[in-house]
Amino acid sequence: MTPQQDTDFTPIATRIRDSVGRQGFMAHVGAELSELARGTCTLEVGRRPELLQQNGLFHGGVTAFLVDNATTIAAAASRGQSALTAEYKLNLLSPAVGERLICRARVIKPGRQVAVVAADVFCVSGGVEKHTATALASIAMLDEKTSPKMPSPAA
């Protein structure tokens, strides 16, 4: 089913995009939500000096942030409910050298309480993507009773 055919997803996507837009750290890092569909999410960030290690590579923390956020967003998009990262395993495969980092997350198992989500991170250099990291995450699915009730400090 394409996103155009999944009309039930439209309000979910709007809610997720609004929520992600209020995340101060997304703005701080300069990351953008470039693709969103049921159970999938793509986040991207461009190269800036503030995001690099002393040797000019993207910092591993930027990769970890993209994985953390993209897997949670993908899980939320799979069921239309709030989600929080419970844990993730990140493998850094090669140095992140390039102009842009792209993280693509996809739900493997959309559980009622815990979703299993995989993510792959690519660094774009000269228009060519290089696989730089892979991850597997357990994402806690929240219901209305367990969702945080505090207003976002970014709002």
Query: With the C-alpha atoms ordered 34, 69, 67, 38, is the resulting torsion angle positive or negative?
Result: negative
- Asked, for residue 101, whether it belongs to a domain, the answer is yes
Is residue 108 in some structural domain? yes
Full residue range of the structural domain in which residue 75 is found: 9-141
pLDDT single digits (tens) 83-127:
999 999 999 999 999 999 999 999 999 999 999 999 999 999 999
Residue 88's pLDDT is: 97
Are the CB atoms for 103 and 131 separated by under 8 Å?
Answer: no
The pair of three-digit structure tokens given for residue 115, joined into one six-digit string:
């979703």
The answer to whether residue 149 sits within a structural domain is: no
Confidence label for 4 from pLDDT (cuts 50, 70 and 90): low
Given a contact cutoff of 8 angstroms between Cβ atoms, the answer to whether 82 and 12 are in contact is no
Please count the structural domains in the chain: 1
Tell me, yes or no, whether 2 lies in a domain: no
CATH, residue 60: 3.10.129.10
Name the pLDDT band for 7 (thresholds 50, 70, 90): confident
* 8 within 8 A of 2, measured Cβ to Cβ: no
Q: Kind and range of the H or E element at 42? A: strand 40-46
Domain-embedded: residue 81? yes
Please tell me the distance from the alpha carbon of residue 42 to that of residue 80, in angstroms, as a whole number.
17
Region of 45 on the Ramachandran plot (φ > 0 left; ψ -120 to 50 alpha; else beta)? beta
Q: Is residue 147 part of a domain?
A: no
List for the chain the helix, strand, coil content (%; round to 5).
25, 40, 30
Is residue 154 domain-resident?
no
- Per-residue pLDDT tens over the stretch 9-47: 999 999 999 999 999 999 999 999 999 999 999 999 999
Q: What are phi and psi of 56, to 5 degrees?
A: 90, 0
Q: Is residue 82 part of a domain?
A: yes
